[in-house]
């Protein structure tokens, strides 16, 4: 093989091009990013009611639709299996770890899951955990997770209100505060959807609108 | 050499005891008929000596079990069986003297087709000796192949392989300790040894472990019993030991242990169709240990696969202990839907009403003016039960941001924040 060709095949650019992606089910996001990168950490951040959990469930549904097994490490015990089932997540392929508000347990459980391997998506839900607790998590954990999922088909999705993994994450999405869409006249109002905007910070800066209908 | 144990008119329990006694000596055991067990003595002379000493050992072990059976030892299974049926007590038929021992046995004791029996009776034959005296060629000419077989039997020359019965397998082990054991580590070491032995039996029978029952007798006489159900049948010792260790870590025995009883529930081994293009899945053994570890840290129902319950009750689900073995059709992903995040338990709240509409919400960590509200959506159920529920639900958007689901319990007239849409 000519050395130039070998060099180009082994270059980081080629490795990036060969990277696999899992579609999110959100058309605009998939068109812009191809989906979430496999073998990498993705971070979804934003305040309450911004749509980050909706995106996580959409990704889980896409993974289970491909026959993959997924896991959710739920720090605050906030996961709703009924919402997941409505989004199309196959609950028979889902492992749910309920940590009862213990962030340390959530980190340990995530570590076991990502090192055990075999999952398409592992979601670490740190939303609702106090900032004081989050700041106590050593940065080495995130590097450890990044190393564990590298060269595997697993996507580690971290949900939190503030960015935690920072440089360890290959894909960072910040959710802008959402606006609720209502219909009907008062007093017979009905919540229809949440309209949000995703600011993708990594791998490249772009804005993607997100519409999450209730029904 | 072969031995036959025989109890006339034996019950099925007695036959089972006879088979158990035979299995103490050899795995080559034939359950010939109710109350009759024939087994091979091959190689036993190295352990016990000549046939009469083997017979003495069998008789001794039979007496230990309270069995009163006839015993015959002979060079062929059929001779041993006929001798045991005819002669009481212990009979050892020396090799080469079979015709002499068989000649006195009446023909009624010998199983044969009724038409041959009728013919032999008409010929005036009463005993096996009479049959042995007849020329085999003439018998074959008149009565066919079966008569030749009976002639060989009468001369003690007929040898056939045994139709082996599988040994009664028990997947349990019991261990009485020399002294009370307080520490977990040596106990786990003992459990590993017991599991290794039981798993060997399971694997030999082509079975797997579907559950573990551990019963510990404590120093104060009480029992500490743990039952572990395995969602995926297993045969490997290491994961089973780890599961037991994690369970003992979460539920340690309150006192020192004096006796350990361990049993595995046999189950059909896991079958899963693999494929080159199938997505990877977590190793069941590894996943089970991970989930057991989380359960040991966080308590029961902390890890597993959720299953929705068939009810309208909000947040109704149950946790299954592990991933169900699934290799079936895939469920297509639905369109993106708004997700709800629950507060478990719901946050008690104070809501100020303006007429029929909520105007202000205050709860721990959540509060503000309500800008928009949709509701009330009334639901109730299980009115026949103590766990009945009846409530009015609202979806509210607060001025500080966030869309929440709140509800008013119609039984207690108190407000709660159930979750946040995200």
Q: Are B307 and B324 in contact (CB under 8 A)?
A: no
Q: What percent of chain B is predicted at pLDDT more than 70? A: 98
pLDDT of residue B327: 59
pLDDT of residue B198: 92
Report the alpha-carbon distance of residue B215 to residue B225 in Å, rounded: 4
Query: Is residue B273 less than 8 Å (CB to CB) from chain A?
Result: no
What is the DSSP pairing of strand B70-74 with strand A69-74? unpaired
pLDDT of residue A18: 61
Report chain B residues whose CB lies below 8 A from the CB of A112: 290, 293-294
Over the stretch A53-78, which tens digit does the pLDDT of each residue have?
Answer: 999 999 999 999 988 999 999 999 99
In the stretch 316-335 of chain B, residues with CB closer than 8 A to chain A read 317, 319, 323-324, 326, 330-335
Q: Is the pTM of this model over 0.80?
A: no
Average pLDDT of the residues in B329-335: 72
Over the stretch B57-109, which tens digit does the pLDDT of each residue have?
Answer: 999 988 888 888 899 999 999 899 888 988 888 999 988 888 888 888 888 88
Q: Inform me whether the pLDDT recorded for B1 exceeds 80.
A: yes
Q: What percent of chain A is predicted at pLDDT more than 70? A: 91
- Chain B interface mutation, best of A51, A81, A131, highest count of B Cβ atoms under 10 Å: A81
Residue A163: beta bridge partners?
A: none
Report the alpha-carbon distance of residue B324 to residue A122 in Å, rounded: 18
Radius of gyration of chain A (CA): 18
B154: which 2 tokens?
């009468």
Over the stretch A87-128, which tens digit does the pLDDT of each residue have?
Answer: 999 999 999 999 999 999 999 999 999 998 889 999 999 999
Max CA separation in chain A (angstroms): 74
Q: Inform me whether the pLDDT recorded for B131 exceeds 80.
A: yes
Q: Inform me whether the pLDDT recorded for B35 exceeds 70.
A: yes
Query: Quick check: helix, strand or coil at residue B73?
Result: strand
pLDDT of residue B325: 57
Q: A140: pLDDT confidence band, cut at 50, 70 and 90?
A: very high
Q: Are B207 and B269 in contact (CB under 8 A)?
A: yes
Half-sphere exposure of B177 (CA within 13 A, CB side): 20
Mean pLDDT of chain B: 88
Q: A13: pLDDT confidence band, cut at 50, 70 and 90?
A: very low
Query: Quick check: helix, strand or coil at residue A16?
Result: helix
- Distance from the Cα of A142 to chain B's closest Cα (Å) equals 20
Q: Are B32 and B82 in contact (CB under 8 A)?
A: no
Report the alpha-carbon distance of residue B367 to residue B349 in Å, rounded: 9
Determine, for residues B315 and A180 on separate chains, whether the beta-carbon distance falls below 8 Å.
Answer: no
Report the alpha-carbon distance of residue B39 to residue B23 in Å, rounded: 8
pLDDT of residue A14: 45
Determine, for residues B341 and A78 on separate chains, whether the beta-carbon distance falls below 8 Å.
Answer: yes
Determine, for residues B337 and A57 on separate chains, whether the beta-carbon distance falls below 8 Å.
Answer: yes
- Chain A interface mutation, best of B306, B312, B395, highest count of A Cβ atoms under 10 Å: B306
Q: Inform me whether the pLDDT recorded for A5 exceeds 50.
A: no
Q: Inform me whether the pLDDT recorded for A177 exceeds 60.
A: yes
B147: which 2 tokens?
């008569």
pLDDT of residue A188: 82
Residue B281: beta bridge partners?
A: none
């Amino acid at each position: 093989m000519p050395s130039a060709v070998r060099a180009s095949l082994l270059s980081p650019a080629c490795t990036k091009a060969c990277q696999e992606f899992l579609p999110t089910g959100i058309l605009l996001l998939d068109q812009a990013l191809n989906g979430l990168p496999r073998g990498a950490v993705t971070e979804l951040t934003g305040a309450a009611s911004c749509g980050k959990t909706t995106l996580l469930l959409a990704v889980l549904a896409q993974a289970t639709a491909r026959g993959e097994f997924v896991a959710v490490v739920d720090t605050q015990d906030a996961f709703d299996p009924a919402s997941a089932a409505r989004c199309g997540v196959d609950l028979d392929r889902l492992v749910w770890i309920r940590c009862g508000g213990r962030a340390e347990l959530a980190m340990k459980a995530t570590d076991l899951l990502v090192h055990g391997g075999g999952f398409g998506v592992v979601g670490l839900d740190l939303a609702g955990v106090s900032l004081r607790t989050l700041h106590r998590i050593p940065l080495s954990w995130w590097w450890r997770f990044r190393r564990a999922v590298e060269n595997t088909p697993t996507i580690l999705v971290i949900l939190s209100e503030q960015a935690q993994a920072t440089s360890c994450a290959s894909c960072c999405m910040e959710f802008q505060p959402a606006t609720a869409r209502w219909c009907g006249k008062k007093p017979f109002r009905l919540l229809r959807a949440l309209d949000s905007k995703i600011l993708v910070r990594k791998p490249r800066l772009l804005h993607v609108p997100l519409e999450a209908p209730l029904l | 050499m072969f031995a036959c144990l025989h109890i006339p008119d034996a019950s099925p329990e007695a036959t089972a005891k006879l088979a158990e006694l035979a299995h103490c000596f050899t795995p080559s055991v034939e359950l010939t008929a109710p109350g009759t067990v024939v087994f091979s003595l091959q190689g036993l002379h190295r352990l016990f000596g000549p046939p009469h000493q083997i017979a003495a050992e069998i008789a001794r072990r039979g007496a230990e079990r309270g069995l009163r059976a006839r015993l015959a030892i002979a060079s062929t299974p059929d001779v041993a069986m006929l001798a045991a049926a005819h002669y009481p007590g212990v009979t050892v038929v020396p090799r080469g003297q079979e015709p002499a021992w068989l000649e006195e046995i009446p023909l009624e004791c010998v199983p044969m087709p009724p038409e041959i029996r009728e013919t032999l009776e008409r010929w005036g034959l009463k005993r096996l000796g009479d049959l042995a005296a007849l020329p085999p060629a003439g018998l074959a000419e008149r009565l066919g192949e079966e008569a030749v077989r009976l002639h060989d039997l009468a001369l003690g020359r007929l040898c056939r392989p045994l139709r082996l019965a599988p040994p009664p397998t028990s997947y349990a082990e019991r261990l009485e300790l020399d002294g009370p054991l307080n520490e977990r580590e040596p106990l786990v070491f003992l459990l590993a040894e017991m599991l290794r032995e039981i798993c060997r039996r399971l694997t030999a029978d082509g079975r797997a472990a579907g559950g573990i029952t551990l019963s510990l007798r404590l120093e104060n006489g009480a029992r500490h019993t743990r039952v572990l159900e395995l969602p995926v049948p297993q045969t490997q010792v290491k994961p089973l030991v780890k599961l037991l260790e994690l369970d003992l870590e979460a539920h340690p025995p309150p006192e020192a242990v004096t006796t350990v009883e361990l049993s595995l529930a046999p189950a059909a081994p896991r079958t899963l169709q693999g494929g080159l293009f199938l997505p990877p899945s977590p190793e069941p053994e590894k996943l089970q240990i991970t989930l057991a570890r989380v359960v040991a840290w966080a308590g029961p129902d902390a890890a597993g696969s959720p299953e929705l319950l068939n009810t309208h009750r909000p947040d109704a689900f149950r946790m299954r202990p592990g991933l169900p073995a699934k290799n079936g059709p895939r469920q297509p992903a639905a369109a993106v839907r708004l997700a709800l995040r629950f507060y478990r338990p719901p946050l008690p709240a104070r809501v100020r009403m303006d007429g029929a509409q909520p105007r202000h919400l205050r709860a721990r960590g959540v509060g503000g003016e309500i800008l928009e509200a949709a509701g009330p959506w009334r639901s109730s159920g299980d009115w026949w039960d103590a766990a009945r529920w009846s409530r009015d639900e609202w979806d509210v958007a607060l001025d500080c941001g966030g869309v929440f689901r709140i509800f008013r319990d119609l039984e207690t007239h108190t407000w709660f924040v159930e979750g946040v849409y995200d």
